[in-house]
Amino acid sequence: MATTQPARPRGTRNRTGSRTGDTLSVHHGRPSRRRTDPTFYLFLLPTLLLFTLFITVPALVGAVISLTDYVGFGDWDFVGLSNYAVLFTDPNILSAYGFTLGFSVVTVVVTNVVALLLALGLNARIHAKTLLRGVFFVPMVISGIVIAFVFNYLFSTSLPQIAAGVPVLQESLLANPDLAWIAVVIVTAWQAVPSAMIIYLAGLLAIPDEVYEAAALDGAGASRQFFSVTLPLMAGYLVINTVLGFKNFLNAYDIIVGLTDGGPGTATRSVAMTIFSGFTGGDYAYQMANAVVFFVLTVVISVLQLQLIRRRGVSL
């Protein structure tokens, strides 16, 4: 009489030490992991080489040059940390850092406030919603230098004629060393608002309508719904816009060049403008030291922002 053996359940060990039905096998008491396909490394290699050649190597060379008296051509000698010692006492450098940091903070605030208000309006039940979204998206796709030249003409010619009776606006804002930064903030925010607005729109669309219905049943008005429902649920998107905006505004260059060229005097000269101007003005090693300091400052700010993101549980 023939006998049958009971079926072996899935996932049990057989005589060779492996589990049937499992993706991992056990040899000598250790689970063996699947090896990474060499094709992945093959695709990674070109990117790694390009990043090393065009990013890492120039950065290391620049750090070495910052320790010399190199002017961009000819011979040079090592001077140690002399460039850095002068850097922290140079009023022009300190002024550029002060303007860049202050400009970045103000522009981040203006951009996020305007973008959030526009997103709320474009998310409401209004006519031609899609058309209006397209119109507000236009500044994002225009070159920054083109925008700067257009606004340069508006601030220098059109606005003084239109606001002839206003004392502050009778002359161009770009010619006033105390008010030129306002024009830079306006133009930079005008171009940056669309990208922030898109992120806020995505956040508003992700909020279920049932949340607002429940708040309305509890007697919450429009303002209470905004501060108690919308704003808390949009906190992650606010963090993302703040991080991305601050990072971009720290590197502001093209709009400032086309709008004020750092003037009047050096009132609106950013750190990026100072570094680039030094490369062609005989301060190559000195401005390379400035670039190293600016890089370290940017990394520190980025790390602090990443810590803020992790605390909010937001993923970029």
Per-residue pLDDT, 32: 55
Residue 166's SS3 state is: coil
∠ Cα 157 113 257 (to 5°): 40
Q: Which residues of 170-183 are buried (b: 16+ CB within 10 A; e: fewer)?
A: eebbbebeebbbbb
CA distances to 150, 186, 251, 284 from 142, in Å? 11, 16, 18, 32
Mean pLDDT of 129-154: 87
- Residue 192 makes CB contacts below 8 A (sequence gap 6+) with 107, 111, 245, 248, 249
Mean pLDDT of 287-298: 92
Q: What is the mean pLDDT of the chain?
A: 84
- Residue 95 makes CB contacts below 8 A (sequence gap 6+) with 266, 269
Residue 31's SS3 state is: strand
Per-residue pLDDT, 220: 85
* CATH code of domain 83-312: 1.10.3720.10
Give the whole-angstrom CA distance, residue 58 versus residue 65: 10
CA distances to 116, 198, 204 from 132, in Å? 15, 12, 17
Does the N-terminal peptide bond of residue 31 adopt cis geometry, omega within 30 degrees of 0?
no
Query: At residue 287, what is the residue type?
Result: Q
Give the whole-angstrom CA distance, residue 166 versus residue 273: 32
- For the entire predicted model, the pTM comes to 0.79
The string of pLDDT tens digits covering residues 43-92 is 899 999 999 999 899 989 999 999 998 887 888 889 989 999 999 999 99
Query: Would you state the structure tokens that stand for residue 275, as one six-digit string?
Result: 């570094």
Domains of the chain, residue spans: 83-312
